[in-house]
Amino acid sequence: MARGPRIVAELGRPETPEETAQRKAEASARRRSNQTAFNLVVATAASLLIVLFLIVVVVRPTPPAPEPVDYRSIAQESGEDVIAPQLPDGWNANGARLDTEGGVRTWTIGFVTPTGQYVGFDQGIDANETWLAGAVDGARPTGTAAIGGLEWAVYDRRDQSDTGNYAYILSAESGDDLLVLHGTAPDAEFETLASAVAEEG
């Protein structure tokens, strides 16, 4: 048996084709409106997650500068006759240790200079030429300089790439020990440290 037109409760009669089309159009509009609001919420949440990720991963607070190392106290406690140069204000040590490298007892201090550059100091106790070759990173001398009463071999590699903290190097003999300075500081700061090392040596 064929069904007649659907009776709409609110109207008490069947819908006209125009009313059906209007009802469907309103339902579609409501659905689109709900989807738009949902999409907006999802997009906002996704944006907030991206911003949070960037804050957590990318934004890093600047860590406080490390406390200078008291290398003179470490030298006294080492039990070896090591050089702990007295330097003017503006010089800070960021590390100091006594260990063995290639069978040679080695006293090492890392300095941050007044211009913010790095100069490392290595003292090879009763060192040999093999130790020296490693301490100067395999570099060959490019000249000499008399500083603080010692004759220093100069290794200037500033025109080379990938030399790291061995762009400029000085080495000298002091008794049975070998002394090496290496880093990125300008000549004047190397001379300051070399003079202080020679005076203590």
Structure tokens at 21: 């089309």
pLDDT band, residue 59 (cuts 50/70/90)? low
pLDDT tens readout for residues 133-145: 999 999 999 999 9
Contacts with 155 (C-beta within 8 Å, 6 or more apart), sequence order: 136, 139, 140, 141, 142, 166, 168, 169, 170, 171
Q: Yes or no: say if 194 and 181 are a contact pair by the CB < 8 Å rule.
A: yes
Q: Where is pLDDT greater, at 170 or 66?
A: 170
Structure tokens at 145: 């300089």
The verdict on pTM exceeding 0.85 is no
Q: Which one, of 89, 117, 97, 99, lies nearest residue 196 by Cα? A: 89
- Topology (CATH) of 71-200: Phosphorylase Kinase; domain 1 (3.30.200)
Structure tokens at 185: 């500081």
First and final C-alpha spacing in the chain: 117
Q: Yes or no: say if 85 and 60 are a contact pair by the CB < 8 Å rule.
A: no
pLDDT tens readout for residues 5-53: 666 556 666 767 777 777 777 777 777 766 777 777 888 888 888 888 7
Q: Yes or no: say if 135 and 180 are a contact pair by the CB < 8 Å rule.
A: yes
- Quote the percentage of the chain above a pLDDT of 90: 61
Type of residue found at 14: P
pLDDT for res 11: 61
Instruction: Tell me how crowded residue 15 is: count the other CB atoms within 10 A of its CB.
Output: 16
**DSSP of 119-159:** EEEEEETT--HHHHHHHTTT----EEEEETTEEEEEEE-TT
> Residue 174 pLDDT > 90, yes or no?
yes
pLDDT tens readout for residues 88-135: 999 999 999 999 988 899 999 999 999 999 999 999 999 999 999 999
Q: Yes or no: say if 126 and 178 are a contact pair by the CB < 8 Å rule.
A: no
Q: Yes or no: say if 125 and 100 are a contact pair by the CB < 8 Å rule.
A: no
Beta bridge partners of 14: 7
Question: Element (H or E) spanning 109, and its range?
Answer: strand 104-112
